[in-house]
Structure 1
Amino acid sequence: MPLNPAFAATFAPPVMEARRWLTETPLPEGLPLLNLSQAAPVDPPPAPLRAAMARAIEQDPSIHLYSPVLGNPALRARLAARIAALYGGTVGADQVALTSGCNQAFCAAVAVLAAAGDQVILPVPWYFNHAMWLSLSGIEAVPLPTGADLLPDPDQAAALITPRTRAIALVTPNNPGGVEYPPALLEAFAALAARHKIALIVDETYRDFHTRDGAPHTLFTNPDWDETLIHLYSFSKAYRLTGHRVGAIAAAPARLAEIEKFLDTVTICVSGPGQMAALWGLENLEDWLAGERLEILRRRAAMIAGFQRLDGWELLGCGAYFAYARHPFDAPSPQVARRLLAEAGVLMLPGTMFRPQGDPAGAREMRIAFANADTTEIGDLMTRLGRVGQAVTS
């Protein structure tokens, strides 16, 4: 059977692999599953948004038609205004496009920037879908090591830049690490990219759950920001629209004209109900989203407090939807993940899924997607992890 070699060389989707573990592993008796494997809201959008969507689907014929490839003009304008207000910069509607989820925004940006044989620098641990797209495209993912605080170093990145480098891609708040990149660090990366005339891709899928009030960085205050910066965003996490696939990309209009070719070929346009929901959310759900942020921050605090009481585990990063930790067991993390599922009813992803193959650090690391666990369930998680630790060490 013919097969593109790049696909054959690319690892299988990690979340799908973890779901297979669920079908293969009996859960311990009396312990309900704590599924901490995926960073996606499991609750539906808030009731007022669902009602608005239902009315629009029934009453607005245009919602069922193709929209412009780069997105609904009203949504593009409203999102541009929100970005400008939040970051204190100047952003026009012609610098914003809508995509079918933030993953597609990354794929579109990379497709425009790089060809097979080129390179993109990714800090490790990295978001596996970013590494997968590069691999599928024949583009080399160049791993940028991070320190004990999981923050990348611009000087180390500079040493990795070659004539084949087309971009540096950062995620903040980070997936999988949970850490937030300080404004000065992002400014240093933007300056580095500008000096080398490469792009800086900044994925802020989890921006709405940042611990910092106000603007997370100053990149948009540069009047020439779109010469270097490609900014990615997701409505999936903000308004629980995961199934409707609505993301966004902010970039230079000339770059978006090239991205339009990609989007027109792949999906033609974002779904009408999804775009309608994103616009309604921007116009009506600011207070609701602020409450969601506070709840995520409460869960983050519960995670940090829980790990302080948990023997053997070391919390490396915690923020937005994720905690990233070093486990205390002798076994490599894929075996630990299966053991935790079988013995404690806890599903989390091993660090090997977030690092290049053979990177030894991944064998000691685990990612915990805690956003769907309330503070009571987080307390239960710590109890279960503590018991497994006692059983292994006794």
Structure 2
Amino acid sequence: MTQPRTATTFAPPVMEARRWLDGVTHPADRPLLNVSQAAPVDPPPAPLREAMALIVLNNPDAHLYGPVLGLPALRAEIATRWSHSYGGHVTADQVAITSGCNQAFAAAIATLCAEDDEVIIPVPYYFNHRMWLDMSGVKTVPLQTGPGMIPDAKAAAALITPRTRAIALVSPNNPCGVEYPAATLRAFLELARKHGIALIVDETYRDFDSRSGAPHDLFVDPNWDDTLIQLYSFSKAYRLTGHRVGAIVASAARLAEVEKFLDTVAICPNQLGQHAALWGMQNLDAWLAGERLEILDRRAAINDNFAQMSAKGWELLGCGAYFAYLKHPFAMSSADLAPLLVRDAGVLVLPGTMFMPDDLPGGETQIRVAFANIDRVGVETLFNRLSNLSY
């Protein structure tokens, strides 16, 4: 008997981790530090919420079906901004709006892959990417990362087969936080183009990159859309997590195929969320710049305070955007350690085993810390708790 598609993959990791909280109490002097999920817990900033309220009251179209590929004004705004910020040329018909970035990935894979095709993904990977590939009947081909958790295009070349349809990268990376060098992304684009496959680059966390200027030159290539598919999310930039607004930037021909997928699963992206994203892009540049500086300060706090962790045998494998990726010193799997941290330290993290295939080593020694919702003081508190543990 064949399995249904959903039975081919694992349970959602964040939901599994939340179940570790059941039955555990946290004393008033040691409240829970939840560093398990990379999503802002605060609502959108007040000016955006006020604008959204007016949209709800005064824009009847915000309550109706809209274009499957998204609001024309939002698509045009992204095209204009991307052309300017990346120094290339992106047109509105090369942009589609999706119901979050996860749907953008799902749509891209639906246009690329058939049963038993293959997609190369660096490990540790973003688990939802693996889950969608599983449920699509697509084989995940893991690419081991090198020094600094950076993937190597030459290593990826050895994994390409006649069934390979794409290489999928995330930069800044989830779960490791590292920012892929521009030369790395360029090497992957050239590799993908040489083999006639797609390069998917998920830039969900692009607004919190520590580098000034464009993080890569892929859009400068006049023929970028023959190979590149870029994904983006508004959830992090404007705290629109519950409104589910993402984007996919690709050739107009590919987006014609994407339209089939989107029309079938959602009909159109959330209209209110799209209007909010557009308002945010047009009015919140200064606010978003401040948010970026705050995230960069939290990243700095990780590095500033890690000496006490190093003294206890911890290693910092990667750090950036919303994440710090750590190697723990204990003689147990991170899958067993993570639930214990809830009880013994009041800390909820995700184990590295959630970001690695079961048959590859490494995940059992690693944990991911998502610091989107803890400030510099919270980082110090987290490290104080972790460095005082012994197992």
Structure 2 residue 366 is matched with structure 1 residue 359:
no
3-state secondary structure, aligned to 1:301:
helix
Identity, % of aligned positions: 64
Which secondary structure does the structure 1 equivalent of 2:121 belong to? strand
Q: Read off the aligned partner of 1:49 and give its amino acid letter.
A: L
Paired with 1:350 and 1:3, the residues of 2 have a C-alpha distance of 31
Q: Deviations over 1:41-83 (max 9, x none)?
A: 0000000000000001011101101110000000000011011
Q: Name 1:369's counterpart in structure 2.
A: 370
Letter in 2 for 1:164: R
Instruction: Give distance in 2, aligned partners of 1:131 and 1:147.
Output: 20
Contact 1:28 1:344 in 2 (8 A): no
Distance 2:307 2:197 in 1: 41
What SS does the aligned partner of 1:233 have?
A: strand
Q: Residue 255 and residue 359 in structure 1: after superposition, are their counterparts in 2 closer, same or farther (change >3 A)?
A: same
Look up the equivalent residue of 2:72 and give its one-letter code: P
Give yes or no for contact 2:308–2:387 (8 Å, CA) kept in 1. no
Q: Distance in 1 between matches of 2:234 and 2:381?
A: 30
Report the count of equivalent residues: 389
Task: Name the counterpart of 2:17.
Answer: 18
Aligned equivalents of 2:8 and 2:72: distance in 1? 40
Q: Equivalences for 1:101-180 in 2 at 5 Å?
A: 101-180=100-179
Provide the residue aligned with 2:332 in structure 1: 331
Deviations 1:275-332 (A, max 9, x none): 0000001100111100000000000000112222212110000000000010010011
Partner residue of 1:297? Answer: 296
In structure 1, how many angstroms separate the alpha carbons of the residues matched to 2:131 and 2:25?
30
Distance 2:23 2:350 in 1: 16
Paired residue for 1:350? 351
In the TM superposition, what is the alpha-carbon distance from 1:387 to its structure 2 partner? 1.1
Asked if the contact 2:126/2:175 (under 8 Å) is kept, the reply is yes
Q: 8 Å contact 1:327–1:365 — kept in the other structure?
A: yes
8 Å CA contact 1:245, 1:271 repeated in 2? yes
The residue number in structure 2 matching 1:262 is 261
Superposed displacement of residue 138, structure 1: 0.6
* Aligned amino acid, residue 285 of structure 1: L
Q: What's the CA shift string for 1:72-126, capped at 9, x where partnerless? A: 0000000110111100000000000000000000000000000110000000000
Number of the residue aligned with 2:282: 283
Distance 1:277 1:371 in 2: 21
> How far apart in 2 are the matches of 1:277 and 1:29?
38
How far has the Cα of 1:214 moved from its partner? 1.1
Residue 24 of structure 1: how far off its partner (Å): 4.1
Whichever residue aligns with residue 146 of structure 2, its letter is: G
Tell me the equivalent position of 2:319: 318
Matches of 1:27 and 1:283, distance apart in 2: 42
SS at match of 1:358: coil
CA deviations on 1:325-374 (whole Å, 9 max, x unpaired) are 10010011011111111110000000000000132200000000011101
The one-letter code of the counterpart of 1:75 is L
SS, match of residue 121 in structure 1: strand
Query: 1:9 deviation in Å?
Result: 2.3
State the shift of 1:29 in Å: 6.6
Assess if the C-alpha contact under 8 Å between 1:352 and 1:359 holds in 2. no
Question: Mapping of 1:30-69 within 5 angstroms?
Answer: 30-69=29-68
**Residues 206-252 of structure 1: per-residue CA shift (max 9 Å, x gap):** 00000001101000000000000000000000000000000000000
Give me the TM-score of the superposition, normalised by structure 2: 0.98
**1:28 and 1:119 mapped to 2: Cα distance?**
48
Query: 1:6 Cα shift?
Result: 3.3
For 1:330, the aligned partner's letter is A
Q: Which residue of 2 is the match for residue 187 of structure 1?
A: 186
| 1:30, distance to aligned residue in structure 2 (A) | 3.2
Aligned partners of 1:25 and 1:160: how far apart in 2? 45
Counterpart Cα distance in 2 of 1:327 and 1:269: 44
Corresponding residue SS for 2:15: helix
2 CA distance for matches of 1:86 and 1:29? 46
Task: Give the superposed CA RMSD.
Answer: 1.1
TM-score of the pair, normalised by structure 1: 0.97
- One-letter amino acid matched to 1:328: P
Q: Is the 8 A contact 1:37 1:369 kept in 2?
A: yes
The 8 Å contact of residues 28 and 343 in structure 1, kept in 2 or not, is answered as no
**AA of the residue aligned to 1:345:** G
- Name the SS for the 1:23 alignment partner: coil
Alpha-carbon contact 1:97-1:256 (below 8 Å) kept? yes
Counterpart residue number, 1:231: 230
Structure 1: distance between partners of 2:104 and 2:31: 36
